[in-house]
Structure 1
């Protein structure tokens, strides 16, 4: 099953396809191209992806999104970065998957990976997640654009350095479930009101929740009341995790396992 056809790419991005083609993956780094991929040639501060189109095609790319005509199958657009964002929106619009968004000052990638492996045991091969730590304005739409048509679950990591960034990302992801792992003084220099500003910025993830959506908040964190109040304005259901007696998911005990990892006892 193809991931995208050239006509779907053109419709999603508002571009013009030079020929009919199908792709099975998406990348914007020519070094990551696999046979059948779509290469998105984007202009950056350090270099211009258009300089690497021939390299991408030699590596097996099936087509290109670009801002100037080339002698390869391509979709011509006015702005490749905007086209990637539009492709992320289109991927989200067409999926029937349950979508989970994860953010927090620490533990985002670990939580995303744990969710992926847990869900994959229930629905083998039908769970999609962000690769690496692709959690910014480029990585999030790329991760969405890579989501298979028939995925049953999608798990997406979202990060931020400044207020307003997560609000933008979560409205692309539109999660059914939005989770904050913890609040800590990461990037605190970008916030005049300290950790409170970080908590508010992380809570922006709830703004993109789908109707009837669920918010998951860290009950033990000192900013819990602030996060809970933000969740109340957007979420239909709020679930708390921690060691508090009234946490819906309550940690009872955790010890290091002899062969690595942890042995956890929890009440759910």
Structure 2
């Protein structure tokens, strides 16, 4: 049975060949899942053994419309023959991803990592490349040991560009993932003290990020942030690899891809850039210099991948912030109070919080209010990192600061009385204190590490559109 229908992602025979398994029957697959709760009709369910054994949910996945299952024990699914039997389902997922990579012969693959901005750059790059050809990308932040091979396994055979996000919080993780993607181009957005708890030094973080170069195809490109303090170290790591081309991007004129002019028109900025000798311009409507940096990285990746720069610039000019990463909503309550909510609740570290505070200062609003939760995985100096945010808070000239978490208490103790909104040891306790402070015309930015659950406050503020404020 061969895959002739463009809507078919895999046939059972192709899956069995890829994973060196055995088919129970002939069937076709239109998608791949490892979470039985996300099954859509026609999906392949791969029963991964992790904290919970996916085999416990294989029969349920079939009952909910899965086209077939990839399992190491066919007794768990009863009488169904829609299975491929293998020895190790995690290894099989990786093998299926490798098969997808090999069969999409015209694909240019791009891998992106970095301490800050990798998801945004991934979204910018994939959107910009979509104007040049069929583009496949990591969904959400599927960037770990299962997310990368899962993204690969979902890549259609006629993909022109593949854009993959690769993350890590320990040494050696990217070294295992980059060779799975075998990117033609790999980019590091930036290096900052994120997950420093597991590394000890910023140099160790840079070395871990540089592992992405290990998987680059012969003659490929390493894209490095020119002005980052670790730039020289990253270049050295890249230069240790034979036949690897090093390209830099940044604001200074010695970068290979650089900003040549910036025009601020108030509501938006026009960016003029020289991308390795090609002049291009695009518009940035979002505040914050990180949007310029991330856009420059993305459009350089488009150029290196052979995409249409003019079409890419047009896409970037109409790109907005992502949910959890700067998306802005206007909330109007039943009693007519209107305010802006800036959702930065997906993640946080000292670099990104300082950037978010700078951006908040440039947003429209009668009062600028920052609601911050703990930054996690910062190691022995975590309390110091939180206290040092006082400089960014004072420079941003925000009107009020609300803080959640035991680590943020170190910042709270340093805040001037006129900046203090309120403090609580968790986001749930802080929520009502934030809600009762809201006034019409406010601009409220919420940010914290995912584990500090600042999404609780985002949801509470967003739900005010259905309620009246009880001031």
TM range (shorter): over 0.9
C-alpha spacing 1:256/1:141, structure 2 compared with 1 (3 Å): farther
C-alpha spacing 1:257/1:121, structure 2 compared with 1 (3 Å): farther
Moved over 3 A (4+): 254-257
Match of 2:232 in 1: 225
Match of 1:204 in 2: 211
Match of 1:157 among 158, 161, 165: 165
Match of 1:89 in 2: 98
CA contact (8 A) 1:257 1:263 kept: no
1:256 Cα offset (Å): 8.4
Match of 2:87 in 1: 78
1:255 Cα offset (Å): 5.1
C-alpha spacing 1:76/1:177, structure 2 compared with 1 (3 Å): same
Match of 1:251 in 2: 259
Match of 2:70 in 1: 65
Match of 2:318 in 1: none
1:215 Cα offset (Å): 0.7
**Deviates most, 169-178 or 69-78:** 69-78
Partner secondary structure for residue 122 of structure 1: coil
TM-score (norm 1): 0.93
**Deviates most, 113-122 or 55-64:** 55-64
Q: Is 1:7 the counterpart of 2:13 in the alignment?
A: yes
Match of 2:391 in 1: none
Partner secondary structure for residue 64 of structure 1: strand
CA contact (8 A) 1:102 1:178 kept: yes
C-alpha spacing 1:201/1:19, structure 2 compared with 1 (3 Å): same
CA contact (8 A) 1:217 1:227 kept: yes
Deviation per residue, 1:151-171 (Å, 9 max, x gap): 000000000111111111001
Partner secondary structure for residue 216 of structure 1: strand
1:203 Cα offset (Å): 0.4
**Deviates most, 80-89 or 128-137:** 80-89
**Deviates most, 229-238 or 21-30:** 229-238
Q: How does 1:1-268 map to 2 (within 5 A)?
A: 1=6, 2-45=8-51, 47-69=52-74, 70=77, 71-72=79-80, 73-96=82-105, 97-123=107-133, 126-192=134-200, 194-234=201-241, 235-252=243-260, 253=262, 258=267, 263-268=270-275
The number of aligned residues is 262
- Find the aligned partners of 2:38 and 2:151 in 1 and give their Cα distance: 14
- Find the aligned partners of 2:22 and 2:225 in 1 and give their Cα distance: 46
1:4 Cα offset (Å): 1.0
Partner secondary structure for residue 121 of structure 1: coil
In structure 1, stretches of 5+ residues that fail to align are none
Match of 2:402 in 1: none
- Find the aligned partners of 1:240 and 1:98 in 2 and give their Cα distance: 20
- Find the aligned partners of 1:6 and 1:256 in 2 and give their Cα distance: 56
- Find the aligned partners of 1:62 and 1:257 in 2 and give their Cα distance: 52
Q: Which has the higher contact order (CA 8 A, sep 6+)?
A: 1
CA contact (8 A) 1:182 1:218 kept: yes
In structure 2, stretches of 5+ residues that fail to align are 1-5, 276-471
C-alpha spacing 1:3/1:245, structure 2 compared with 1 (3 Å): same
Deviation per residue, 1:189-244 (Å, 9 max, x gap): 1113x000000010010111101101100001000000011112235321110111
Partner secondary structure for residue 131 of structure 2: helix
1:263 Cα offset (Å): 4.0
Deviation per residue, 1:63-122 (Å, 9 max, x gap): 000121133200111211111111111111222200000000011110000001100012
- Find the aligned partners of 2:138 and 2:121 in 1 and give their Cα distance: 12
CA contact (8 A) 1:166 1:204 kept: yes
Partner secondary structure for residue 183 of structure 2: coil
